[in-house]
Every structure is written in C-alpha cells, then in structure tokens.
C-alpha cells in the first residue's frame, strides 16, 4: 500500500502530491473558518484583539488610516503593521470580523505549502520525498500550536509565519530576489518580526562547511621561533583570504537580512514612539523589572547591568514548561537539528525575558507565532538527521538470531523496546502517529471544541446577547465589555469598559477619558469580576481597582436603563427608565429580628423579595427578580460578590454563577456604616431547576486570589483560585 501511495505521489513529477496538499489546505481552512464563525456568532471572542483589528481595518478601509478608539491613538502607536494596508482593500468588500477570521484560517493553512516545499528539498535525494513532504505538511496542519493560534482571536502575526517559511524556502533555492521580497513582506507584518529576520543573516554562517579545513584564524598555539612571534604564519594568512574569497558570494545573504532587520526595527520604534501618546514603546513595561527603561537602548543597558538576573529569568519554571511544550508539539525532532532553532533566539529573549512569565498561555495564543518557523524548519531537518542516525544505529544493532530472540523476550526492558520500535518501520510509523494525535489532544483545543459546540447554555446566552446588540444602531458610539466588543466593533467609535473602569491608558499612568459622544453602554457586569482578577494586585495599576466604581458611577449618572436581563444591562443617554439597579434607603434602626447576618455580623440582609415571571423571548429559562436589602454594620474594606447556586435535594450544586454585588457600581467598600442598600437583580435561570426538587440559595463571597486563563476554545475565562464564603441564605 505504501509503495502504491509513493508511486501515486511521484507520478507526473509530484502533481498528485500537490493536489493532495491543496485538498488538505482547503479542508483545514474550511474547518477552522466554520469553527471561528461559530465562535464569533456565539460572542466567544473576548480577548479584545479581534475587536481592535476589526475596528482598525474598518476605519482604514473607509480612509481613516490606522484609526481606532479602543486605545485612544492610531494603531501605529501600538505596532508598526504596514501589512494592514495590503489587506484593507480586500476587507473593504466585506467589512466584517468574519472576513478577518477567514483570512487567518486561510493563511495558517497556506503555511503548509512552504513546509511541503522545504521538506521536498531536504529529502530531494530520496525516492519517497513527495510522500515525506506531504506527510510533513499534514503534520504541520495538525500541530496544536497552529490550532491554538487560529482560535485565539485574530492576530496579524499569523501572516508572518507564511512569509518567513517561504523566505527560508527561497534561501534553500538560492533565489535571492524572492528571498528578500518575502523577508520584506514579513517585516511589514509587525516590528518584532525583525528579530527573526535578523537571524536569517546568521544562517549562511551556520551552513558553512569544511570550516576547519579553511583554517580560518588559525594562529600559532606555541612559539616556534622568534620570527613567528611577530607575525602570522604565511599559510594562515593565505587561508584567511581564501576563506573570504570562497564566502564572498554569501555576503549578500548575510548582510541583507541583518541590515534590513536593524533598519526596520529602529525605524519602527521611532514611528511607534511618535504616534504613542507616551512617546515611547509602551510594551517596554514588560521589562521594567530589570530597571526603568524608556527606550530600547536603556533596556539593552539594563540587561548588561544585570546579566545574571536576565539569564536566570530566561530559565524560570514557567519558561521551561513553555519550551518543553514547544518541543513536545513537534515530537522533539527540533533537538536533532538544534542550529535552526537559532532563528527563534531573538523571540525567545523577547518573550521569555518579559515579566509576564505566562507559561502555557504562550502555547495557547498568538505569542507562539514567531517560534513556529524555527521549530518547523528544525523539525524537518531533525527528521532527516533522525533517520540518518537510525540507519547507523540499525547497523550497530546487527544481532544474531539468538540476540534478537532475547530482546523480544525482554519487551518490558525500555532499551529493548526502544530498539525494536526504532528498527521496525511500521512500529516507528505507528509510534509517530499516536504521538501526534496525543500531542494534539493534550495541547490543542480539540476537546474544548467538542464540549463547547454541545453546550446548551451557550445557545441561551447567545440569544440574549444578540437581542441586546440589535437594540444599538449601527453607527452609534458605544461602550461595552469584553464578550460583546468584537461583535460591535464595525463602527468608527467603540470603547472598552475595561479602560473606563481602569481610568488609565494601556500600560500607562496617563488618565483615560471618554469623549462626550457616547450614546450607549452595553455592559455585561460579569466583567467586573474579571477586572478584579485582572488588576486588583497588579503593581502598575495599584489602587485603580478600588476606585473603578467611582469612575463608573460618574460616567453612568446621565444614562437610563433600557433593558436588563441577568448580568447584561443596556444604558442609553438621557433615557427615562423605571428600573433601578441600586437604591439607597433611609431606614430606621430595627431589632434585626428576621435578618440574616453575614461576614461575622458585619453585614445584615434585612429582607429580600423573589418573583418569577416568564417572557416569550426565553424558551428554556425564566427571569427571577430578586431584590435584596442590605445594611453594613461595620466599615468594609473589601468588595464582596454574590454567588447564586441551585442545589438538588442531595445538596449537590447543579448550577452556579457569580455576580458582582450591587453590580460593582456601588460595591461593599463604598457602603457607609448603618446605610441601607437595595440591590435589584433579574436572574435568568434554567426552567428545569425552578421547581420543588431544587433549592435556590445565595452566598456572600470574598474573592481572594485568581487570574485570567483560557478555556478549551481559547476564550478568556476567570480562574478563581481562592475565595472565602461569608455566609449563605436560601432564596424561597
């Protein structure tokens, strides 16, 4: 069967293999386009980047080059991405985030094309080179890192993978003009691509053969005569010039990438600093742990001032886990051709030297993009080197019949089993296939996709989000939250509630201010839990979390509630509403006879009111209105939250959700002693749990520790690690 496949692929000089390659690319693009469209339609792109890129493309396609309002400056103040100008004319025909998601799936699928060509060149002396090349392309498309990049928002860096791989292919082919063209295209994607392009200039030095024979810089090691002490030996001088004569044709391959990358990097830095309000490259904040740096020169000096600290930081546990994950995703083949990993050395320092230390998040996001060309190329050459080592090992393992039987009887012995797997082609092939599938399931989003598509609650929440989004006119300026901003980003003016709450521009101490033209606020107040995890204990924003509610109240004071369901609330400017989220009441002191005391009697629940009503717009859920009347009996310094649970008769929790207490607009840290505060909620609860078989209860909780992470489909989720329960009461 393998011979038949080999003959089929080699027929007509590999045309059949190219047909299969394009079939793989088509299937990959189709599959991930559909998954991405589904994720978008269900409001699951909540990482902010898709919204940013879509607004930049939307404004650019309408002549407002690089404008966006999510960060209040041109996108050139964030990144120098001229490639946006190449894509904008295509985007103008569609003007939708869906088109960007399709482009991302397409370009990642097309990246397997240069993988095919590179592999074919590496194995050009083998009869089954087309089969190996096709397998290599398919394995690339199955790589979990590619899948993660594809699903985590939209990022322009995806295009750099394609250009850098093709640049390497033309370097293999010694086609200089095309090599330079693809390097330039790669540079236009983003300024930090220059870190990879620079290392392309080192490639010719890595490939120099017979360097020892050239006796380059071979100075005398000991005194041979007094005459030799004062000058080089004649033969060494001759060999010195002979070396450069041989290598003069390589100089353009060496210096072109180096000069281009350095020029582009420093010009980009100047342009970014010019358009950034802080007049600097704002992402330098990630390296402030080394010392204050306002430019790249300061950063480099700080590294040299603290070389040991920088070196040790590169190899902290989180970075080592990430590096192991990269190697695992390529079945450790890059280790057999480690010199090609040098292509990623600049990116390695850039990412791993930062203060973030995000570990597995790098493997699950676009931050892995610039590692992929080096890892892919090294794995191809690594496979070739592995097969050559295998041949040598098999010769070494030439055994007598008696020895072979002895090994077969000792399969439990690791060394014996390893020898058999390496020696038998079929076993080796099965081992690689199983490894690839395992790595995809272990590091990729496969299980997450299957789980999310069958998740019933996503459908109900999607319906609710669509209902609210339709209430906002297409061109109206709007402030909104993470899970809604991408779907509302096709407009000139859109703002993130995160920066409104934070009160600071990104990575800056400069004040963030909204313009007066905002017409709507569409807020999913679940985001206020996210803000607590995101900024409460972050040094650069110290104190901003506890004052965020003040800014939010100030901005919302002239806005009325158009509609409210569960944690989702639509506000409109100067709208007269009959609904209130929070009410302050003047109540006399009472004896608290029927009150529920919480948090060691620091808070009293004076009363509550529950009312269920069914609306036609919800088929499988009902609105349960709950009004809680609270009183703070002491001064409270923390912002507490409300956890609503539904339990069955065996006290097992079957449904749970955390809501910010008082919507986070008037949190417990603002409550005055003996002040009565009424909070009104319209909980959307599943009908199947609203009967006598289940118990509805509430808990007051204090979130102590947590962080933001990614779920199976690479959407951002809250990860609460530690919370304190301050009291529980049943809502009858």
pLDDT at 343: 94
* Weakest-pLDDT range from 194-203, 303-312, 460-469, 663-672: 303-312
> For the segment 435-447, what is each residue's pLDDT rounded down to a tens digit?
888 888 888 898 8
Band (pLDDT 50/70/90 cuts) for residue 649 is confident
Query: In degrees rounded to 5, what are phi and psi of residue 665?
Result: -80, -35
* Weakest-pLDDT range from 211-225, 491-505, 556-570: 211-225
| DSSP secondary structure string for all residues of 591-633 | --TT-EEETTTTEEEEEEEEEEE--TT-SSEEEEEEEEEEEES
Q: Check pLDDT > 50 for residue 290.
A: yes
Q: Check pLDDT > 70 for residue 416.
A: no
> For the segment 522-557, what is each residue's pLDDT rounded down to a tens digit?
999 999 999 999 998 877 787 899 999 999 999 999
Put simply, whether the predicted model's pTM sits higher than 0.75 gets the answer yes
Q: Which residues contact 263 (CB under 8 A, 6 or more apart)?
A: none
Q: What angle do CA 233, 238, 243 make, to 5 degrees?
A: 125
pLDDT at 550: 94
Per the DSSP assignment, residues forming a β-bridge with 584 are: 677
Q: What value does the mean pLDDT of the chain take? A: 86
Q: Which residues contact 359 (CB under 8 A, 6 or more apart)?
A: 317, 318, 319, 321, 322
pLDDT at 124: 87
Distance between CA atoms of residues 327 and 341, nearest Å: 11
Give mean pLDDT, residues 396-404: 55
pLDDT at 8: 59
Q: At how many degrees (to 10) do helices 176-189 and 83-91 cross?
A: 80
pLDDT at 410: 47
Distance between CA atoms of residues 586 and 443, nearest Å: 56
| DSSP secondary structure string for all residues of 48-65 | SHHHHHHHHHHHHHTT-T
> For the segment 672-712, what is each residue's pLDDT rounded down to a tens digit?
988 899 999 999 999 899 888 999 999 999 999 998 999 98
Q: Check pLDDT > 80 for residue 349.
A: yes
Say which residue, 485 or 611, is predicted with more confidence.
485
Say which residue, 182 or 313, is predicted with more confidence.
182
Distance between CA atoms of residues 39 and 452, nearest Å: 9
Q: Check pLDDT > 90 for residue 593.
A: no
Band (pLDDT 50/70/90 cuts) for residue 2 is low
Say which residue, 263 or 402, is predicted with more confidence.
263
Distance between CA atoms of residues 563 and 610, nearest Å: 19
Give mean pLDDT, residues 558-566: 95
Q: Is 639 helix (H, G, I), strand (E, B) or coil?
A: coil
Whether the CB-CB separation of 708 and 47 falls below 8 Å is answered with no
Q: What angle do CA 6, 12, 13 make, to 5 degrees?
A: 75
Distance between CA atoms of residues 176 and 405, nearest Å: 55
pLDDT at 23: 96
pLDDT at 526: 95
- Asked whether the CA dihedral 374, 377, 380, 383 is positive or negative, the reply is negative
Structural domains for the chain: 201-273 (no CATH), 456-573 (3.40.50), 582-730 (2.60.40)
pLDDT at 228: 45
pLDDT at 625: 93
Say which residue, 300 or 161, is predicted with more confidence.
161
Q: Check pLDDT > 50 for residue 412.
A: no
Q: Provide the Cα torsion 5, 11, 14, 19; round to 10°.
A: -70
> For the segment 72-88, what is each residue's pLDDT rounded down to a tens digit?
878 999 999 999 999 99
Burial 181-191, CB ≥16 within 10 A → b, else e: ebbebbbbbbb
Burial (CB < 10 A; 0-12, 13-18, 19+), residue 101, is: buried
Give mean pLDDT, residues 17-41: 95
Give mean pLDDT, residues 16-42: 94
> For the segment 246-259, what is each residue's pLDDT rounded down to a tens digit?
455 678 899 999 99
Whether the CB-CB separation of 620 and 688 falls below 8 Å is answered with yes
Give mean pLDDT, residues 643-654: 92
Distance between CA atoms of residues 202 and 345, nearest Å: 11
Starting at the edge strand found earlier in the chain, the sheet holding 653-660 runs 653-660, 641-648, 694-710, 716-730
Whether the CB-CB separation of 658 and 674 falls below 8 Å is answered with no
């Amino acid at each position: 069967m393998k011979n038949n496949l080999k003959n089929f692929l080699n027929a007509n000089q590999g045309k059949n293999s190219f047909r299969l390659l394009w079939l793989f690319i088509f299937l990959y693009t189709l599959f991930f386009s559909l998954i991405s469209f589904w994720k978008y339609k269900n409001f699951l792109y909540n990482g902010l980047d898709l919204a940013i890129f879509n607004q930049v493309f939307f404004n650019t396609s309408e002549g407002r080059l690089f404008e966006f309002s999510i960060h209040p400056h041109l996108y050139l103040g964030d990144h120098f991405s001229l490639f946006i100008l190449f894509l904008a004319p295509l985007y103008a025909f569609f003007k939708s985030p869906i088109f960007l998601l399709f482009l991302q799936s397409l370009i990642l699928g097309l990246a397997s094309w240069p993988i095919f060509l590179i592999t074919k060149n590496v194995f050009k002396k083998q009869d089954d080179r087309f089969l190996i090349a096709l397998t290599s392309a398919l394995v690339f498309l199955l790589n979990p890192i590619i899948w993660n990049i594809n699903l985590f928002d939209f990022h322009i860096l995806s295009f750099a993978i394609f250009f850098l791989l093709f640049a390497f292919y033309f370097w293999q082919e010694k086609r200089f003009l095309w090599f330079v063209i693809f390097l330039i295209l790669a540079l236009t994607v983003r300024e930090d691509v220059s870190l990879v392009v620079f290392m392309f200039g080192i490639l010719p030095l890595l490939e120099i053969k017979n360097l020892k024979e050239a006796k380059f810089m071979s100075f005398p090691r000991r005194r041979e005569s007094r005459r030799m002490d004062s000058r080089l030996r004649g033969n060494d001088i001759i060999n010195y010039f002979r070396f450069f004569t041989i290598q003069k044709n390589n100089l353009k391959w060496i210096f072109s990438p180096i000069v281009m990358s350095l020029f582009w990097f420093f010009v980009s830095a100047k342009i970014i600093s010019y358009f950034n309000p802080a007049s600097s490259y704002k992402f330098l904040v990630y390296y402030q742990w080394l010392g204050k740096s306002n430019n790249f020169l300061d950063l480099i000096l700080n590294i040299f001032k603290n070389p040991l600290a920088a070196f040790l930081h590169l190899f902290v546990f989180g970075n080592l886990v990430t590096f192991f994950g990269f190697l695992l995703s390529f079945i450790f083949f890059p280790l057999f051709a480690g010199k090609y990993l040098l292509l990623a050395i600049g990116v390695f320092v850039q990412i791993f030297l930062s203060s973030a230390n995000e570990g597995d998040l790098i493997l699950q996001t676009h931050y892995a993009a610039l590692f992929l060309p080096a890892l892919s190329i090294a794995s191809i050459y690594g496979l070739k080197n592995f097969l050559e080592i295998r041949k040598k090992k098999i010769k070494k393992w030439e055994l007598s019949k008696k020895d072979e039987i002895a090994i077969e009887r000792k399969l439990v012995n690791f060394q014996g089993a390893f020898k058999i797997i390496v020696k038998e082609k079929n076993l080796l092939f099965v081992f690689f296939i199983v490894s690839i599938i395992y790595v995809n399931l272990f590091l990729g989003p496969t299980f997450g996709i299957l789980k999310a598509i069958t998740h019933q609650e996503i459908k109900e929440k999607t319906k609710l989000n669509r209902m609210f989004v339709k209430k906002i006119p297409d061109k109206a300026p709007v402030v909104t939250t993470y899970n809604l901003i991408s779907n509302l980003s096709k407009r000139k003016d859109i703002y993130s509630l995160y920066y409104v709450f934070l009160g600071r521009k990104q990575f800056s101490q400069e004040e963030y201010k909204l313009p007066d033209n905002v017409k709507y606020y569409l807020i999913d107040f679940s985001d206020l839990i996210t803000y607590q995890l995101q900024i409460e204990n972050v040094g650069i924003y110290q104190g901003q979390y506890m004052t965020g509610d003040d800014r939010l109240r100030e901005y919302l004071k002239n806005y009325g509630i158009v509609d409210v369901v569960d944690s989702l609330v639509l506000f409109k400017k100067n709208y007269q509403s009959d609904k209130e989220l929070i009410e302050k009441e003047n109540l006399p002191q009472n004896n608290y006879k029927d009150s529920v005391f919480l948090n060691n009697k620091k808070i009293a629940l004076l009363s509550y009111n529950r009312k269920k009503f069914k609306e036609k717009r919800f088929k499988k859920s009902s609105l349960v209105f709950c009004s809680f009347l609270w009183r703070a009996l002491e001064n409270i310094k923390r912002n507490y939250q409300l956890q609503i649970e539904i339990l069955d008769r065996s006290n097992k929790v079957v449904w749970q959700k955390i809501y910010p207490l008082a919507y986070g607009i008037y949190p417990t840290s603002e409550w005055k002693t003996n002040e009565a505060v009424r909070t009104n909620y319209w909980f959307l609860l599943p009908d199947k749990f609203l009967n006598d078989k289940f118990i509805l209860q509430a808990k007051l909780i204090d979130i102590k520790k947590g962080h933001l992470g990614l779920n199976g489909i690479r959407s951002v989720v809250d990860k609460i690690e530690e919370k304190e329960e301050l009291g529980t009461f049943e809502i009858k």
